[in-house]
Chain A
Amino acid sequence: MTTSILNGTGNNALAFSDEQAMLLDSAKNFCGDKSDISAVRSHLQSDSGHNPEIWQEMVALGWTGIAIPEQYGGFAMGLGSTVPVIESMGRHLLGTPLITSTLASQALLRGGSEAQREQWLPKVVQGTVGSMALLDNEDWGAKLCGVTANQSDSGIVLSGKKLLVADATVADFFVVAINHNGNHSSNPALAIVEASQLATGAITANTLIDETKRAATVDFTGATISLDALLPHPEQALKDVRLIGALLIAAEATGTSAATLDSIVSYLTSRIQFGRLIGSYQSLKHPTVDILLQMDSSRSLIYHAATLIDDRPVAKDTEIACRMAKAQATETLLFAGDRAVQFHGGMGFTYDCDAMLYIRRAQWAQHQYGDAQHHRLHLAKLLLD
């Protein structure tokens, strides 16, 4: 009888500013124009995975400065305004270092010194790429201690490798989680390392399941940094960046889910088998509806998180929103991509079929900044204890 039978418990804030709406419109158009499927495929084998001219156009549009305060040359529109841009990138599988660079700049904003911010943030706005080097192993929740730091006469000498460092070959600097001065391994320090400080051959490109993405194993061994390169507030920065990373990957995945759904609907309304359009079969129609509804959930959750996130340390409600968004959005894309392959039948099994791009993106996205189970584990601590 009553459709509205849900209680409004908890924080259900959801807002979308005119500014965000304009960004969404322009990003949709831009990404659609610059990144049709043939453009996406043309970068699958390239080193950087993206077109530097398009990256410069994005810089000119101001997207690298959306969440950076005006005093550092940014546009101070807040992190919530990056979400529609990144969702649009996901929709067109547009490869760029925007997510990586946004996260590195957020690490500096949230944990860096004034000097560090002044040194790097204006450059990031102008297109310099920063990258986060967090991972020592497969678990985003695990201890980060693989890169150790030893004091020497010349400074702090690093030793050890990081895995899956996004867009490492085009990064000018890295924010690296390290074990320094007996810092407990679950509570690492963060250090800024410039690409020029790395030894020759330190970057070994990873072969990724998603060929539209780029990451590398980076060996920081031998890199020597000064004390000034350490972020003064690593704990808050690390916590926040992991959650912001989860949100941005969720936003991108939601865009890709929308593209995946479009691709399925297009095939179901054009392919004829056994004398009928295959979209008329309920065994295909109903799961496709499920994808739509899951995508609706993802979109509601990412914009809820985008509403709550701001420049302050991530609060509990915001953490809940980011984790829910990530858990939902990447599971949605896994489901959508998996069904996209299956519903394309024999074509779906080929490299030529675009469903390949979507399911590979799904498998990549689920593991970035924590998989769904990881986030549910942490949500349980926040909501059930």
Chain B
Amino acid sequence: MSQDNPSQAEFRAQVAAWMQDNRPADPGFLLPQTFMEVGSERVLEFLREWQHKVWSAGYLGMAWPKEYGGQGMSRDFQRIADEEMKRLQVPICFNVIGLGWAGPLILDNGSDYEKEKYLKGILNADDIWCQGFSEPNHGSDLGSIQTRAERDGDDYLINGSKIWTTMGNFAKYMILLARTDAQVERRYNGLSFFLAPMHRDGITTQPIQKITGEYGFTETFFTDARIPANCIMGEEGQGWRIAMQTLQYERGAEAGAAGGISILSIVMDDLLRMAAEIEREGEPLLQDPVTRDNLIKFMIEEKALQLAEKRIEIPALCRDYPNSIALSGKLRSTEFFRRMRQYALTLQGAQGSLYVGDQETIGGGFWQRAYLNNFSTTIGGGTSQVQANIIGEHVLGLPKD
């Protein structure tokens, strides 16, 4: 953050001031820590209003073209706005599949018609997007996708089901990966990519209750659902390539995403603040030598993760295994947060056995939700164990099992 030039520094201060002035009052219900926890209409409407406000103020889609609702500015400004939103822990910009996946994909690959039709609604939160990649029984192995899309006149006929559809019950559109050819030799070649409408006959959603007790995902069923043939992106058989392209935008505004924060950032400072309030045996917990040793271990790990993001920019210091940092970031950060949040509950003592809804919880059960929700990151997008296989095989060159 110290590298800001004067105009960037001024902009950063301006964003910070706006966020502090406009941060919504406590709505009286728990706000989601991630975009995967939008489980009720009131939460949805709260977040829709917030995202609309952030966009109206000009802090979302800053690097997207003006004619599609953006600001046409440099990506640096969006990065700064995102950093400030993260630092100030304002509510998330929840329309993540649109902002971070579908939007940049349409900007890069879409026709003028598609850009006109979809982009502004993504930014102002009028149109919610969901993602239909994963299927029941196949986890993150996208090559095994079974949902069929058969050309029938001016339509595709969709049959099958998708799972872990975030906000599936609220979404107007889905980025859908489906099989258009079951005969090809390489199973990835039979997939196609669609910008599919959700409000169609034959499409139903079933909310999934999560480990936290909340909702936020659905299972989505397609039974002879018709979507217009022009919903396809690219050609039949290009779905795999486009899906992989979509995943590249996960790296944030610098990769073309609209920006905004999708996950509340919970860092060691938050854990230290919590620990500072707790006493054990009449002494502050932060004076306990065992606790101190454990906290410092976490702080060293957090520092190393932060530094990795800088070292990846210095090729001379990544010669041994050039793709190690890039391929291990997900595994490392999600597992770090899992253990750190688990430890937060350990430090709470008896109060750690309470849950959201009890008056006596620390922070309304913030850490309880944070820990349980974190499993979405160590499981989703390829479990930690799959990640370890990928690193072992693709970074170290170990044989497949």
Interface on A for B, CB 8 Å cutoff? 1-10, 12, 14-16, 20-21, 24, 258, 261, 265, 268-269, 276-277, 279-282, 285-286, 288-289, 292-293, 296-301, 303-304, 324, 327-328, 373, 376-377, 379-380, 383-384
Cβ contacts under 8 Å, B317 to chain A: 16, 299, 303
Could you tell me the distance in whole angstroms from the C-beta of B112 to the nearest C-beta in chain A? 28
Task: Find the B residue at minimum CB distance from A383.
Answer: B299
Please tell me if B250 contacts chain A, counting CB pairs below 8 Å.
yes
CA distance A3 to B100 in the complex (A): 12
Report B-chain residues with C-beta under 8 Å of the C-beta of A304.
Answer: 303, 307
Pick from A9, A268, A288, A373: contact of B267, CB under 8 Å: A9
B-side residues, CB < 8 A to A, are 1, 34-35, 83, 86-87, 96, 100, 250-252, 261-263, 265, 267-269, 272, 286, 289, 292-293, 295-297, 299-311, 314, 316-317, 320-321, 324-325, 328-333, 337, 385, 388-389, 391-392, 395-401
B299-A24 in contact (CB<8A)? no
6 additional contacts (CB under 8 A) given A16-B314, A280-B400, A376-B296:
A2-B250, A286-B392, A300-B304, A304-B307, A376-B292, A379-B299
Residue on A nearest B251 in the bound complex, by CB: A3
20 CB contacts below 8 A, A to B, read: A1-B34, A3-B252, A3-B329, A7-B86, A7-B267, A9-B269, A12-B306, A21-B316, A265-B396, A265-B397, A280-B401, A286-B392, A292-B321, A292-B396, A296-B308, A296-B325, A299-B317, A304-B303, A304-B307, A383-B299
Docked complex Cα distance between A2 and B397 (Å): 27
Find out whether the CB atom of B303 lies under 8 angstroms from the CB atom of A301: yes
Cross-chain contact of B302 among A4, A6, A21, A282 (Cβ < 8 A): A6
Q: Give chain B nearest CB distance to A22 CB in angstroms.
A: 9
Q: List residues of chain B with CB within 8 A of the CB of A3.
A: 250-252, 329-330, 333
A10 adjacent to B296 (CB under 8 Å): no
Looking at chain A's contact residues, the main secondary structure is helix
Q: For B96, list chain A residues within 8 Å (CB).
A: 1
Check A6/B305 contact, CB under 8 A, given A303-B311, A324-B300: yes
In the complex, what's the smallest C-beta–C-beta distance from B310 to chain A, in angstroms?
4
Q: Which residues of A contact B305 (CB under 8 A)?
A: 6, 297
> Do A289 and B296 have beta carbons less than 8 Å apart?
no
Closest residue on chain A to residue B376 by CB atoms: A1
B388 and A6 form a contact (CB under 8 A) = no
With A2-B252, A4-B251, A7-B265 in contact, do A14 and B311 touch (Cβ < 8 Å)? yes
Q: Knowing A24-B316, A265-B396 touch, does A383 contact B296 (C-beta < 8 A)?
A: yes
Complexed CA–CA distance, A9 and B385 (Å)? 30
* Most-contacted residue by chain B among A7, A285, A292, A297 (CB, 10 A): A7
C-alpha gap A285/B250 in the complex (Å): 27
Assembly CA distance A9 to B302 (angstroms): 10
Give complex CA distance A21, B317 in Å.
8
CB contacts (< 8 Å) of B329 on chain A: these are: 3
Pairs A-B, 5 closest by C-beta atoms = A297-B304, A300-B307, A279-B398, A380-B292, A14-B310
Q: A6-B309, A279-B398, A297-B304 are in contact. Are A373 and B293 (CB under 8 A)?
A: yes
A324: chain B residues within 8 A (beta carbon): 300, 303-304
Residues of the B chain whose Cβ atoms lie less than 8 Å from the Cβ of A299: 311, 317
CB distance from B396 to the nearest CB of A (A): 5
Residues of chain A within 8 A (CB-CB) of B399 are 269, 276-277, 279-280
In the complex, A122→B352 CA distance in Å?
62
> Contacts A5-B333, A277-B399 hold; do A16 and B324 have CB atoms under 8 A apart?
no
Given A299-B311, A384-B272, A384-B292, residue A2 in contact with residue B263 (CB < 8 A): yes
With contact pairs A14-B314, A16-B316 given, residues A380 and B296 touching in the complex (Cβ less than 8 Å) = yes
Central interface residue in B87, B252, B316, by most chain A CB within 10 Å: B316
Tell me which residues across on chain A come within 8 A of B397, comparing CB atoms: 265, 269
Residue from A12, A297, A298, A376 in contact with B293 in the complex, judged by beta carbons closer than 8 Å: A376
Pick the contact of A297 from B265, B301, B314 — CB < 8 Å? B301
Shortest Cβ distance from residue A265 to the other chain B in the assembled complex, whole angstroms: 5
Chain A residues with Cβ below 8 Å from B310 are 12, 14, 300
Q: Which residues of A contact B398 (CB under 8 A)?
A: 265, 268-269, 279-280, 285, 288
Chain A nearest CB from B280 CB (Å) reads 15
With A10-B303, A279-B398 in contact, is A1–B250 under 8 Å at CB? yes
